[in-house]
Amino acid sequence: MNGSLHLRVNGIEVDVPIGASVAAAIARITPYCHRSPRGDLRGPLCGMGVCFECRVCVNGTAYVLACITSAQNGMEVTTDG
């Protein structure tokens, strides 16, 4: 697929190819998605929607798994790191 999608990660504008995941958009801005209970920074581990290490906030909804969610135009993504 050609073309690109336009979204924001932590308020920063980012473009990704059509079909890309939210995780792919995040990676262009920060290597981190969330913090563990003790405050360690974490990034994607399983890449398949199992481990929850890539969870972020998308359009105000928390616990969205960035690795299996398709990026869409106008999305507002917030990480915790």
Partner 1 sequence: MDKPYDVLVVGAGPAGLAAAGAAAFSGARIGLVDAQMQAGGQIWRYDVVQGVAAAAQVQLKSLAAKKNIEYLFGWRIVTIDSQKNLIAENLAGMRRLQWKKLILATGARELLLPFPGWTLPGVTGAGGLQALVKSGWPIAGKRVAVTGSGPLLLASAATLNAHHAQVVAIVEQASLSQVAMFAVLLPRWPTKLTQTLALKWSLRNIPCYYDAHVRAALGTSFLEAIEIDNGRSNTHVECDYLACGFGLVPNLELAQLLNCAMDDKIHPSIAVDDCQQTSESNIYAAGEICGIGGVEIAQIEGAIAGFTATSNTHKAIGLYSRRRRMYRFAAAVAHHFSITAKIRTLATPDTLICRCEDVPMSAVSNFDDARTAKLATRCGMGPCQGRICGSALAELRGFTRNFGRPPLFPVSLETLASAEVQPINQNQHETIR
Q: Which residues bind partner 1 (CB under 8 A)?
A: 1, 16-21, 23-25, 27-28, 31-32, 36-38, 40-53, 55, 58, 61, 63-64, 67-71
Rounded CA separation 34/80 (Å): 4
Task: Work out how close the CB of 11 gets to partner 1 at its nearest, in angstroms, rounded to a whole number.
Answer: 20
Residue 51 one-letter amino acid: C
- Write down the least CB distance from residue 37 to partner 1, Å: 5
Least separation in angstroms between residue 13's CB and partner 1 is 16
Q: Which residue reads 């906030």 in tokens? A: 57
CA-CA distance, 72 to 16, in Å (whole number)? Answer: 9
- Cβ closest to partner 1, residue 9 vs residue 64: 64
Q: Judged by CB, which is closer to partner 1: 9, or 27?
A: 27
From residue 50, give the alpha-carbon distance in Å to each of 2, 4, 10, 53, 73: 29, 27, 24, 9, 25
